A and B are shown apart, each in its own frame.
Chain A
């Protein structure tokens, strides 16, 4: 176990119980009326969902950067999150939100569609450049279709629902979302964790990785499945929450020896911590309506990205 796992694991263990108390109304188990119900039905599932979503996005980001050998890579760039969002938008467009399962189901279908498209275009050859281009194409296609859905929304209510949902949030989530996301993200993180060693070999370039016995085609499939599950499930239950996958590996890397395999588990823990803390913060901030988590993380993430670019101009990241 490396140092980063210990540090982020410990911080998460401290932050999780604290986050249960934080909110517009601070919860004091002895003093607050109905504290047990609030805790069990609202705060705990929301905190766990933050942990699940964050862990999935963090692990996906670390793996993506390892695969593309690029510290600026983010799983959101590769079509799966926009694909999932498109699926959810279709559900909202048709008003399928009456059944609580339909929206996440549509989002998962969207993620699956994006994954299938990505695999069909890039999966056969296993080439990184083709994979990147295919991902960008899938992302822009899904983005365009989402924009089309918004512009042709059947009524103003559906339009506002869609726009609001696209700015991801964990507000009013319940155990239902937790039970939906947990197994999918868990399986996804497991798959991503298994890509660690091949990603280490990829540090020396694709030909060397292949000469070391890495099956780059199988690696790509595992990566698509792992990112599809983690990011798809995250978008299905929380909407678009960007930048976590980009930021988190950078927080983790200085605490490790920079090998991609050493980043995946700590990035899952750090992602969980970041989303948990950010979600607690948006609950506490004294705004009239709660700041959407997706917006808050983008406000944090975009300047971070710019800072990263400036730092990279001066030297290696």
Chain B
């Protein structure tokens, strides 16, 4: 099921953005602060109504889809790790089943296993570390078995080990057929882990394509205003500022 934006505009934050995303891939949205990355993600998740243009999910316009139907297809993971009450981990993961109106054990167990949360299943939210919380919240999304996983800076506030682990889990979800769309600040992660990179600048599409093409040195110069170059082999590249 494709997820596509048609001439999407929202206030001063997003101008005439058109793109079509493929399932089974990891797509990264990159760009400097204030480029409109989170706005685009929220609009694609159906949480922010477009002022102009539209978001299509398959053959349907997202705005006309019933919220429950939309929620069954699109899982959204915000940047903040807010958990207001000290609830058990399993109850949190079960929240992912809400759009389906059930707490079926099978997908909940599958999500808990996929993120290695078995030992934490009966722990309470406020006893978890930052990395554990991030895994629990991603498991909540996976438990809903959405066709699309949209995550806003899922690696922020995680150490490098947890970052790589989370990316592995997201890759596994994409390999299972889900479309994965991530807002990423770390360009090296985008370069090494994404199948496609979308670069936004001042609310407009600045580049869109395979990571090497979308994040080439001229884009780094024009969008981020930095002189930098990539070193290392494919899949293990690092960015060096000059």
Contact = CB atoms under 8 A, between A and B. Distances in A.
Contacts of A197: 98
A210 B87 contact: no
A203 interface: yes
Contacts of B96: 212
Contacts of A150: none
Given A201-B98, A207-B42, A208-B78, A213 B84 contact: no
A205 B82 contact: yes
Given A213-B70, A215-B67, A316-B126, A203 B76 contact: no
Interface in A158-212: 197, 200-205, 207-208, 210-212
A226 interface: no
Interface residues of B, number: 33
B47 A257 contact: no
Contacts of B74: 211
Contact of A205 (B67, B80, B98): B80
A260 B85 contact: yes
Given A200-B95, A203-B83, A204-B140, A211 B47 contact: yes
A69 interface: yes
B47 A210 contact: yes
A257 B87 contact: yes
B75 interface: yes
A205 B137 CA distance: 12
Contacts of A207: 42, 47, 76, 78
Contact of A316 (B42, B86, B140): B86
B131 interface: no
Contacts of A259: 85, 87, 91
Given A211-B46, A213-B99, 13 more contacts: A197-B98, A202-B84, A203-B87, A204-B95, A210-B47, A210-B67, A213-B67, A213-B70, A213-B71, A213-B98, A214-B98, A258-B85, A316-B86
18 contacts: A200-B95, A203-B84, A203-B92, A204-B92, A204-B95, A204-B137, A204-B140, A207-B78, A208-B76, A208-B77, A211-B47, A212-B99, A213-B67, A215-B67, A257-B88, A257-B91, A258-B87, A260-B85
